[in-house]
Structure 1
Amino acid sequence: MFEFITNDEDRGQVGIGTLIVFIAMVLVAAIAAGVLINTAGFLQSQAEATGQESTDLVSERIDVTSEVGIVESESNPTNLSAIRVTVAGAAGADQIDLNKTTIQAVGPNGQETLTFNRTKVTNGAASIQPESFAVQDASGSYVTSSEAVLNSTNSFTIILNPESRPFGGANATFGQGDSSSLDIVSPAGATTTVELNAPDLFSKKGAAVRL
């Protein structure tokens, strides 16, 4: 049934063709292994980046602690002279640059995307440029773009001009009974939504009213 080879001269020989095929298989395996390693590294980097972005969307968020309006003290006490939104960094947030923060505002006179006011504010909210907002520190001083950075120990007040769109405009000013919504978007893309609702009747000139 089985045939035994007893002659030492009857041996198998490896031909050059078989050797070439073997070498080719080794090369293909090495290339495939390299591709797999590179792909795994790329996927790992992409997963880490995606995870960091997801974490930032949760943690790098701006908290709103109060929203008030200042009633005009002279010309028309039925309108506001300033809208003040006090903000702080959410728990666990790193530094948040308000200079790179945007506010998507919808109000009685349309909608606008507001950015940091880059011109020095010298005459209160009325001098804030259209399509922008200003920032005050805890002492009430207007800060520059390089200073407007939230961290775990401070807070700022965003100042909005009630005479500019979308709050006012075309001889109109945000006032009694008006409402607006703000989406405050941090540099990481985290969004905080704020609803501003002015009372139907203001109490007195120069007073601060809760919005």
Structure 2
Amino acid sequence: MISNASLKRNNTAQVGIGTLIIFIAMVLIAAVAASVLIQTSGTLQQQAQSTGKQATQEVSSNLVVKNIEGVRAKTSSTSMASNISLLKVKVGLNVGSSPVDLNQLIISITDGTNTNDLIYANNDKTYGNAMANFSSSETAATNLLYLLNGTQSSPGANGMYFFTVQKIRDEDVSFSQANPIMNTGDLVTIYISVVSDGDLSYTTIDGVTTGGTQKDSNLDLAPRSTVTIVMTPEAGATSMAEFVTPSSYGTRETIQLYP
């Protein structure tokens, strides 16, 4: 015979101040834990956004070397230096790049024997002073003359420590000698002095009258020289251009070197 099972309902519960204390403690612990999680997630989100922004800038903000020409110093059309005296580096920005301040750009150039680390002529932070005779109100050609001819007690000959820039395309008028800011679409020519110690008596370099007083750059770009140029902006990818000078310069004043 099967009997019907009876169910007993238990209506008893924990009561008293002890139970209340435990309940309040659990609520407080849950609240503290939730606060910590919210704060931690907010901090992580801020760090992730900052890291993502920096990573994007590092990848997208970089200079692109379009081409490089070498110019020989001369006194006349038939009397030219045996080595290249000036490099004209045409530079633009990669697509989608953030603005680049050339005042913070470092250019390292080596001829295989010696290396010069160059900064923009108006930068007075690295060496404690800007390039001697540099003027933000002068033209790029005038500052190029000072680059080739100028010297100072510290750090020394301008061509060994500085570079100057000439703008070619600047649609938003953001670029000036005082504030050389490049945006996407801008195109500039960077002048790098490579005057050799054996070519100091010639009177003209790229149309600039030096009068034979140009200073030695400590570099020698003779034929068959291997030259490496590395451009390191304040933020973004490093750009590099490497080339070998021709076996003979012949009678040419301007020589295409890169690409």
Same fold (TM over 0.5): yes
Point out where structure 1 has 5 or more consecutive residues left out of the alignment. Answer: none
1:23-172 correspondence to structure 2 within 5 Å: 23-74=24-75, 77-118=81-122, 119=131, 120=134, 121-123=143-145, 125-127=147-149, 128-138=158-168, 144-146=177-179, 148-163=180-195, 168-169=217-218
Moved more, 40-49 or 68-77: 68-77
- Whole-angstrom distance in 1 between the partners of 2:9 and 2:94: 83
* 1:113 to 1:42, Cα distance in 2 relative to 1, 3 A: farther
Point out where structure 2 has 5 or more consecutive residues left out of the alignment. Answer: 1-5, 123-130, 135-142, 150-157, 170-175, 197-215
Offset at residue 129 of structure 1 (A): 4.1
* 1:19 to 1:105, Cα distance in 2 relative to 1, 3 A: farther
* 1:186 to 1:84, Cα distance in 2 relative to 1, 3 A: same
Offset at residue 109 of structure 1 (A): 3.2
- 1:32 alignment partner AA: A
Percent of pairs with identical residues: 29
| CA-atom RMSD in angstroms | 2.8
Offset at residue 125 of structure 1 (A): 4.8
Whether contact under 8 Å (1:117, 1:129) holds in the other structure is no
- 1:182 alignment partner AA: I
- Whole-angstrom distance in 1 between the partners of 2:91 and 2:230: 13
- Whole-angstrom distance in 1 between the partners of 2:245 and 2:16: 92
Whether contact under 8 Å (1:71, 1:202) holds in the other structure is no
Q: How many residues align?
A: 200
1:10-44 per-residue CA deviation (whole Å, 9 max, x = no partner) reads 96452222222221221111111111111111111
1:96-128 per-residue CA deviation (whole Å, 9 max, x = no partner) reads 111112223333333343211123225265234
